[in-house]
Amino acid sequence: MNKLQTLTGMHDILPEEQKYYQRVQKAIDSVTKYYGFERIDIPVLEMAEVFYKGTGMTTDIVEKEMYTFKTKGGDVVALRPEFTPGIIRSYIEHGMHNLPQPVKLYAQGPCFRYERPQAGRYRQFYTTSMEIIGDSNPSIDGQIIQMSYDVLKDLGFKNAVIQVNSIGDSECRPYFKKILISYFKSKKSSLCSDCQRRLKENPLRILDCKEEKCQVVKAGAPQMVDHLCEACHAHFKQVLEFLDELELPYELNPYLVRGLDYYTKTVFEVIDKNESGSSLGSLFGGGRYDNLVKLLGGRDTPACGVGIGIDRLVLAIKEKDIKTAKVETPEIFLAQLGQLAKRKSLKLFEEFRKAKIPMAESFSKDSLKAQLRQANKIGVKWVLIFGQKEALENFVTVRDMQTGNQQEISLDKIVEEMKKKLN
């Protein structure tokens, strides 16, 4: 019989890895709370049309990576490959345009893409998405970038760099696409087969290609920043002024486009460099998407956001050996003997929980010797021994594990007395 195991590209997050995910979560929660973001949870399953319209039919996500299937009722649905279109669908569906603008939302959880699994890139992966909807001011772009950078700083990354570009809007992009097509047509034979197809459907995607042969061709391509309309140029100039004012380390990357069709104007990625200066890859990516709300059937509403790849962040933390916060280990162990003591111990344990005092226990073991052995293993300072005599006479024997000294403390005073000892 074949051994059952996880599907290709899926992974278990084991107990010993949870501290890394919790550390990342804590950094994100701290930043979102400070900037006034509210959490939204959206379904894992959406109508596939949400992503066809939002993410774009000619993107790799929709063409190659989306998990789609027909329901028994005949609907074509998809496991979410990203959060933004679903959040915007919710914004429209629940009339959030009636709330004071901008609306600041964040979501987190698993997303799904059928792609070749590699280090830090899974078919079920964990993401946090932060979105500011309803404001066109360049300061919003600056705020989203600042927040992304803050998360990395909080996690102890010292060489984070922001790569930023503007990809224009419907005013100036069509003209730039013509120039781009003209350039790439002259180099068509040097492009990979995917990019030769993209040349017809979506030439901007070629700038996002990671194939080595296309990188060489891309290096000589025209740059969007040289062809921005007046409004896009002014917007981008102000974004860069905000980044200068915030003293954030950024680089202009004229070929950064991001792999999604809904982006307009500002696009950015936050990368981390190692000591030699080479990039460890993109950890965050985002930008402005002023047409998406209208595209999905809502009003004309500007927006800006970022996606944070949690798994890749965890991998980078491990690679760089960034210290995670120590898990708080209890300093008190509750040992109990006999049925009456065991019953009363459950209530006693609950009283310590209410007092927010961490405590270890082993209710499944009956032998005092086995329980003391476990207490030693954990390295607690005190063991509370609660046996038949203690249970009948309402006291607890407190053993100091360093000196071996013992004292008897009344059951109704034990929580307060242990609180004093801990302080």
With 80 as the cut, is the pLDDT of residue 366 above it?
Answer: no
The answer to whether residues 256 and 384 belong to one domain is no
Residue 363 confidence (pLDDT): 78
Buried b (16+ CB within 10 A) or exposed e, 345-383: beebbeebeeeeeebbbbeeeeeeeebbebbeeeebebb
Where does a domain end: 284, 319, 354?
A: 319
Asked if residue 275 has pLDDT above 60, the reply is: no
Record the tokens describing residue 64, joined without a space: 């190659």
Q: What is the pLDDT of residue 296?
A: 94
Residue 363: both structure tokens together: 């209710």
Q: Measured between alpha carbons, how far is 212 from 411 in angstroms, rounded to an integer?
A: 72
Q: Is residue 337 domain-shared with residue 312, that is, in the same domain?
A: no
Q: Residues 53-71: pLDDT tens digits?
A: 877 776 777 777 899 999 9
Q: Do 294 and 394 have their domain in common?
A: no
Residue 206 lies in a domain: no
The verdict on 161 and 281 lying in the same domain is yes
Q: Which residue has the higher pLDDT, 187 or 93?
A: 93
Pair (257, 135) in one structural domain: yes
pLDDT in tens, 298-333: 999 999 999 999 998 998 888 877 666 555 678 999
Q: Domain with 365 in it: what CATH number? A: 3.40.50.800
Domains identified in the chain, total number? 2
Residue 394 lies in a domain: yes
Give 279 or 323, the one with higher predicted confidence: 323
Domain containing 308 equals: 15-172+228-319
Q: Which pLDDT value is given to residue 323?
A: 66
Choose the most confident range, by mean pLDDT, from 186-190, 332-336, 345-349, 364-368: 332-336
Query: Are 303 and 340 part of one and the same domain?
Result: no
Q: What band does 350 get if pLDDT is binned at 50, 70 and 90?
A: confident
* Same domain flag for 346 and 270: no
160 has pLDDT over 80: yes
Percentage of the chain lying above the pLDDT 70 cut: 96
Task: Please report the pLDDT score of residue 338 as a whole number.
Answer: 85
- 94-121 pLDDT, tens digit each: 999 999 999 999 999 999 999 887 777 8
Residue 94: which CATH number?
3.30.930.10
Judge if 159 and 292 occupy the same domain: yes
Please report, in angstroms and rounded to a whole number, the separation of the first and last CA atoms in the chain.
57
What would the pLDDT profile of 175-200 be if each residue is shown by its tens digit? 888 888 888 888 777 888 888 888 87
What is the structure's pLDDT at 279? 53
149/113 Cα distance (integer angstroms): 26
DSSP β-bridge partners for residue 406: 399
